[in-house]
Amino acid sequence: MRELTEAPRAVLIDIEGTVGSIRFVKDVLFPYARRRLRAFVLENIGRSEVAEQLAAVVADAGGEADLGALADQLERWSDEDRKATPLKALQGMIWASGYASGELTAHLYEDAVGALRRWSGRGLPVHVYSSGSIAAQRLYFKHTSSGDLSALLAGYFDTTTGPKHDAQSYRRIADAIGVPPAELIFFSDAEAELVAARAAGLRAIEVLRDGQPRWSGPSIQSFDELAY
């Protein structure tokens, strides 16, 4: 199958459940930010980057709100696992302190680390597309269990490009990278994302870390199965 054997011109990867454990994200990262979210907002309102995200929360709510109400809204979004861009940006800021202190170390599967190094060594550019903010993505790959791997990545995309279930988002990414969609391959564990990517003309492969295939396209259990 072409997706498994023929090298693309560029690679696009999801993080959670694809190159890193979904358990690390759900059981470590999210709770870490959730516990600190309210205090972080209240203590850092004077920072321009925090105020900018709170203004976006106000805009989403359709009117003015006091600081306590904004913190309530952010906590609700966190509990609902909403992919709201302001929440993702604030989570990233909180995680930054955790990585800096050594409290957090990002998980990556060994076969994913091998693939990143292999692709980089062959001059194959690798980009990330995650619902987490670009800042959070950079932190993730800079503070992994295998060390700082940020030099292996060519770029990052988040929900500011568009929803991950929208085919147009993948067209925008292909255009930004500068390759035809058919020469860009996307790896994810989420069926809706894979379907959207394929609808945009990308080659798409499901990465199965557990369970059975959830879509009709090609699937792998390890990046070691690829010929490139």
Across 107-129, average pLDDT = 98
Over residues 19-27, the mean pLDDT reads 94
Asked, colleague to colleague, whether 2-20+106-225 and 25-101 share their fold, the answer is no
- Residue 111 confidence (pLDDT): 98
The top-scoring range by mean pLDDT among 54-58, 82-86, 121-125 is 121-125
Q: How would residue 18 be classed by pLDDT, with cut points 50, 70 and 90?
A: very high
Question: What CATH number has the domain spanning 2-20+106-225?
Answer: 3.40.50.1000
Give the CATH class of 25-101: mainly alpha
pLDDT for the residue numbered 60: 79
Percent of the chain with pLDDT over 70: 98
Q: Chain-centre distance of CA 119, in angstroms? A: 19
Closest alpha carbon to 116 in 139, 148, 92? 148
How much is the pTM? 0.87
Residue type, 83: K
The residues facing 16 across adjacent strands are 20
Percent of all residues in the chain with a pLDDT value above 90, rounded to a whole number: 86
Whole-angstrom distance, CA of residue 185 vs CA of residue 182: 8
Reported as a single tens digit per residue, the pLDDT across 157-200 is 999 999 999 999 999 999 999 999 999 999 999 999 999 999 99
Span 204-225, pLDDT tens digits: 999 999 878 889 999 999 999 9
Domain boundaries, the chain: 2-20+106-225, 25-101
pLDDT for 63 equals 64
